[in-house]
Amino acid sequence: MIDVSEKLEGLNWIARPKLLALRRLGVETVEDLLTHFPRRHEDRTEFPKFPREESDVPICLCGEVVKTSLRRFGGWKKIFEATLQESDPNALSEPLVCRWFNLHYVQKMIATGQRMVVFGKPRLRGTRICMDHPEFEVIENDEEISIHFRRITPIYPATEGLSQRVLRSMIYRLLNELPWSSAGLETLAPSNLVRGERPEAIRAIHFPDSWEARDAAREHLVLTEFFVMQMLIASRRADASTRRGEKHCGAGALLDRFLRSLPFELTAAQSKVIGEIRHDLAANHPMNRLLQGDVGSGKTVVAIAAMLLAVESGYQAAFMAPTQILAEQHYDVLRRWLEPLGVRMALRTAARQEESGPLPLFERVQKSPDERLTTTNQPQIVIGTHALLYDKVSFSNLGLVVIDEQHKFGVTQRAQLSAREPAPDVLVMTATPIPRTLTMTIYGDLNVSTIDEMPRNRGKIVTAVRDGSKLGEVLAFLRTQLEAGRQVYVIYPLIDESEKLDAKAAAAEYDLWRERLRPFRCDLLHGRIPAPEKQEIMERFRRGDTNALISTTVLEVGVDVPNATVMLIENAERFGLAQLHQLRGRIGRGEHKSYCILLTSAQAKEASEKLAVLERTSDGFKVAEADWELRGPGDLLGTAQSGLPALKVGNLRTDAHLMLRARAAAVSILERDARLELPENQRFRRLIVEQQGRTFSNVS
């Protein structure tokens, strides 16, 4: 009997060069090959007539190559063309010209007289109907016609040295030779969630007899993937709820003093979230909470409130930021706000270590919780980067861990701080709003709090997309803002110019900006500047000594200069929507009206649609949804970062309704049988242990 975990080397009919090519696709075992699912299917039951007009919808055509040609242009550049004619001699359609630019290997694969299947969008180029860079397949013979043609045909992710025909033939042979009683092919989801068995679904997703069979198979496999994911998430939740914790919530006197010292009132959303966190800190089991809020919504104040409650109860708090600039800014802000309250702090980064006073670092003291920190000189709040994870920093009495910009860290990193007994409370924060389906997955083991209200004292941000040819008008506007006493950011995608990328660079353009904005002072900021100099540059900008900061995305998060009211982003099309929104969040932080100018010379429709989203809305949650719509989920926050298995067939956005069903099924099973001890749940117990690589306390 074949075990699906067996290496493909054990199948003597797969040649070694093909094994190497499969390995490039991450396919090494029998199961990997069985679950190398098609990325789409083509209807090859009957090919349509050659088109007379162009179309935005890709189509699949079959014809005979009647002419090939190779043309050179621009020196070393080449265009290879293959002209296809319909195989039917009675067809009256125009020929189709397939074109490939600078793909030299294509001309070696295509010759006059061959039959070909091509897939792409037909476009009108002059008087000819063309397909540029179509996917193609040469029909060598009709012996395996039932696999490749006259059927609903699978199209796979492929690689060099592994054509569609070869991949298709391999998987077809494996499906026919593999006994379906093989170990590892059991159905992974409960019968009340999926219809049919996993082996039938795998066979039907590869070679369906009908579109209905393909859809049913896909639903089975998507629900299975989502169910596995939700079982892991639900088990994490159950595991966290059984861990021993301590109450880390003071009476609130220190928090009240802090709130009274603020020059503004909290929003209703901030007050609500602080209440949720306070409830968690007062519980005997560890808090695991995600705080999400738009750029500038006031998450830092909420984090400080949580840390003060922990400090007042006699515990230490750790505040972890993704970059040194952000960690240093948090340290400086917290010192200004909290040192007058008598709170002791320390900064720990790879390049800078400071403490608010000559304090010994974390000497262990054996005292009651409320005496541990109040009677010694230990720091009560430690701010740092990932250096807190790896440096020799020991905490004598850690009660709360706050992680800022959580999407830049992973589950494993988060666990390094929180995996101690008794477990500290954990609050993770993100200014990258997360669509609801992702909240159920990437952060499904966390309780979620949302700040959905902006402070009233924030200035309005006007966003405008401008063509690069309008730079003169933009410069005139910048000067009027500088003359009015405001400050300006100019953002570039690169530090230095690149021959490979058609994009401007901060260092290369810096001298030009100094001339453009003279006599106003400019400074250059990027990631390769040494840390002390970087800090000095930011301090000059905060004080107002510098009028314009020419920078890369090093200041994407955390920089807070209320007087900076204009941001010009060069080559805006090169940034993602979420990143542009983060950058825009550096302005509009004071009372003055602010302006974000997205400069682009891109003509592509996709670029225009993307940038238009930012003109329409400044709501980060709407921006995140639009980003998801435009570019698909991909690895938006990183399943690798989440510690969850990567999805092979499911789509978190379009299959959201299936995720809800899978989540309900997983929660229902663990509610009835938390330790998965019932005989019918043993396969789920094994599944969790195998996927996580460790045994959870509720699945021992």
What are the tens digits of pLDDT across the range 493-512?
A: 877 655 455 567 788 889 99
pLDDT band of residue 532 (cuts 50, 70, 90) is confident
Which DSSP symbol is given to 681?
G
Taken in order 412, 416, 420, 423, the sign of the CA dihedral is negative
Cα(450)–Cα(276) distance, integer angstroms: 11
Cα(521)–Cα(480) distance, integer angstroms: 15
Q: Say which CATH topology domain 461-631 has.
A: Rossmann fold (3.40.50)
Domain boundaries, the chain: 1-41+154-185, 46-150, 253-451, 461-631
- pTM passes above 0.95: no
Do the first three CATH levels of 46-150 and 253-451 match, i.e. the same topology? Answer: no
The two tokens of residue 299 are 């998450």
Residue with more model confidence, 89 or 448? 448
* Residue 364: predicted pLDDT: 31
Asked if pLDDT for residue 442 goes beyond 70, the answer is no
* Mean pLDDT of all residues in 541-559: 82
Residue written as token pair 């294509």: 106
The two tokens of residue 539 are 């301090």
Instruction: Kindly report the average pLDDT of the chain as a whole number.
Output: 82
Phi-psi domain of 96 (left: phi exceeds 0; alpha: psi -120 through 50; beta: other): beta
Q: Say which CATH topology domain 46-150 has.
A: OB fold (Dihydrolipoamide Acetyltransferase, E2P) (2.40.50)
List C-alpha distances in Å: 629 to 431, 588, 632, 633: 19, 27, 6, 8
Closest by CA position to 454, among listed 320, 268, 608: 268
Query: How deeply is 468 buried, as exposed, middle or buried, from its count of CB atoms within 10 A (0-12, 13-18, 19+)?
Result: middle
- 627 and 653 Cβ atoms separated by less than 8 Å: no
The two tokens of residue 618 are 């400044």
Distance of CA 41 to the CA centre of its chain: 27
Asked if pLDDT for residue 557 goes beyond 60, the answer is no
Cα(651)–Cα(659) distance, integer angstroms: 9
Query: How deeply is 554 buried, as exposed, middle or buried, from its count of CB atoms within 10 A (0-12, 13-18, 19+)?
Result: buried
Parallel, antiparallel, or unpaired: how do β-strands 381-384 and 128-132 relate? unpaired
What are the tens digits of pLDDT across the range 331-373?
A: 888 998 998 999 999 988 766 666 765 333 333 333 344 444 4
Determine the residue type at 63. G
Superfamily, domain 253-451: P-loop containing nucleotide triphosphate hydrolases (3.40.50.300)
Closest by CA position to 326, among listed 479, 462, 431, 422: 431
* Mean pLDDT of all residues in 362-388: 59
What are the tens digits of pLDDT across the range 420-440?
A: 677 889 898 887 777 766 777
Strand partners, 465: 598
* Residue 155: predicted pLDDT: 92
- 310 and 274 Cβ atoms separated by less than 8 Å: no
Q: Quote the strand ranges of 163-236, DSSP E.
A: none
Contacts of 650 (CB under 8 A, 6+ apart): 221, 222, 225, 226, 658, 659
Choice among 96-110, 262-276, 386-400 with the minimum mean pLDDT: 386-400
Strand partners, 64: 85, 115
The two tokens of residue 541 are 């900008």
- 466 and 599 Cβ atoms separated by less than 8 Å: yes
Cα(338)–Cα(135) distance, integer angstroms: 62
Phi, psi of 379 (to 5 degrees): -60, 140
